[in-house]
Every structure is written in C-alpha cells, then in structure tokens.
Amino acid sequence: MTTPRTAVGAVTAATLGLLLAGCASPVQTVSHAEEAPDVTRESGFYVNPETSAAQWVADNPDDPRAALIEERIAGVAQATWFADHDPGTIEAEVDALASAAEADGTVPVMVVYNVPGRDCGNHSDGGAPDHESYRAWIDSFAAGLDGRPATIVIEPDALSLMGTCEGQPPAEVMDSIAYAGGTLREASDQARVYLDIGHSDWHAPEDVAELLHGVDAGQNAHGIATNTSNYRTTADEVAYAEAIVAASGLDLTAIVDTSRNGNGPSEDSEWCDPPGRALGTATTADTGSPVVDAFVWVKLPGEADGCAGPAGSFIPDIAFELADNTGG
C-alpha cells in the first residue's frame, strides 16, 4: 500500500516544458517518546485504531516489542492509504473513515494512490486499469467525503516520476492528477488537498514549480506534500517547500512527512528500508513555518518500502527499531 521513494535523476526544465505542453487541468528536533501521544491528542488529527501497528499490537500483546510500538507509534495520528482499485466499495470506505473522525472531533489524513501505472511498475505497482476508470474512482472517493474535513495527499511520486515511466503518458497522468485534486477540493470546502512532489534531494524547486503549473495546482490543490515515505530532515523539507512555493508564485501551502526522519537519511541516502532510522516529529499543526501547515505521519512507520518485505507489509522489527531509536 505504500510507495517507496526512488532515486530517479532530476528531470530538466527543458524536458518538463515538453511534458507539460498541451496538458489540460479540469527544524525540527527528534520527537521524544513521552511527548508523542500528547502532541497527537492536541494535533486535531485522527488516530486510526486500525493501523497496521495498532492491529499488530492487539494481536501480539505479549511480544516484548509491543509496548514500545504501542506507545510511540500506534497512538500517533497517521495517514490511511487508499491504494486498491475498488470502485464498488471506495465510497463506503472513505465515508467510514470520515465518519469515525467526525465522531472523534478530529481530521483524518487520507492518501489517494491509484493512478494507472503507479510507481513505474516497481515495488508499489498497481493502480486503476485506465484513466477513465481512475476518474470514476475519484468521483466515488469524493462522494464518500460528503463535505467533511480531511487532509488529502494526492498520488505519491506521480509528479516526480513524470515522463520516466513506461506506460504512463505524461499528459494523461497530469490530467488525472489535476482532475483528482480539483474534484476532491470541490467535494468538500473543509478538505485540504496536497499534491505530492517528492523530496528535497530529488528535483529542483523551479522544476517542481513548472510541474505544479502544468496541473493548475493553484486551482486544483491547496498545497504540496513533501518527503512522503522518505527520510530527509524536517529542516531541509521545510526549506524545500518554502522554495517551491516561492518559485511557483502560487498561493500554496505544504505538509511534510515526518514519520521516519528523526535522524535523517542513511549515509548513502538509501530509500528502501534503510536500517538505523528513527521516528520524526509526531503529527502536529505546530510547524513554526508560515508555509507548512502540518508535519504529518504520511508513511506508516513499520510498513516496508518493498525491500524488507512486500511494500506496505508491517514488519515489527522495523517498527521497533524506529521507536527504539527515537528520543527518550
């Protein structure tokens, strides 16, 4: 269910210009263990009791790793990924999450991850069979929102991989991203929609800004999402987000994935289940930046990138290491 971060080289501005032609549109310190649950309760974001970490703890109460995983991971607000092409049930699934958060008085974090040909067919391959089906799925997703609050991340990696995936025509992908953002934004004036744009060690801010104009981000989104499933430091990502917004000239804000960046990336910047990482700042709207709306656990800590296990599978050893390496 979870996309890995890739090390694909930056797309040049000239290449981006060709890709965009004709595309229509419709620092943070490591969090301390004892702070994470309190910060989460004050954050206003929904703590889903059915995350993979929470389910594993419930199923393995006597495991010596369970207490720490429960304390430092399961009690923190995290995203729910909608990564299956399930046109018959997606509306009900979104409605159920939105309803649970509404009853709790909090805001759910949702990830839309179903674009055709996603992840270039790598660890997190899948997605809708075609763009017409994808847009119908988005319509059903929007119906499930029913005007309620949500923080929504649109299609991790899709913009950053633009033009590099066989079977992903750039114009069609960009039109579908624009459609997804615009449709979900219109579906609820209480929702906040963010387009995923990779991380600070990928594309230059000016190149990302050009992509954002290509999907008419000023009309089809409220902001951008950075560092999804990656490990770049919060300070680097805040600066990156601010630079992208400035370069774009658009009225956008940002969110930063801080789920696994507590001690930054590995020395070799390995993106696929690198060892020795730590949890980052727990989900919060207190960012200290006028551009960054929130630090959010978009990637679920303990879920594999695709090397330690199938992408999205829960690996308790990874979860425990992340928690054990964090503050205290």
The residues assigned a catalytic role are 119, 157, 305
Among 20, 36, 24, 150, residue whose Cα is nearest residue 82: 150
Alpha helices in the chain (DSSP H): 13-20, 36-43, 52-59, 66-69, 90-104, 131-145, 170-187, 205-214, 217-220, 234-248, 316-324
Strands 109-112 and 292-296: unpaired
Residue 153 β-bridge partners: 111, 194
Report how far apart, in Å, the C-alpha atoms of 163 and of each of 139, 174, 238 are.
Answer: 26, 10, 26
* Cβ atoms of residues 271 and 231 within 8 Å: yes
Task: Please state, in angstroms and rounded to a whole number, the distance separating the CA atoms of residues 155 and 115.
Answer: 7
Task: Please state, in angstroms and rounded to a whole number, the distance separating the CA atoms of residues 14 and 34.
Answer: 49
- Secondary structure (3-state) at 156: coil
Task: Please state, in angstroms and rounded to a whole number, the distance separating the CA atoms of residues 47 and 51.
Answer: 9
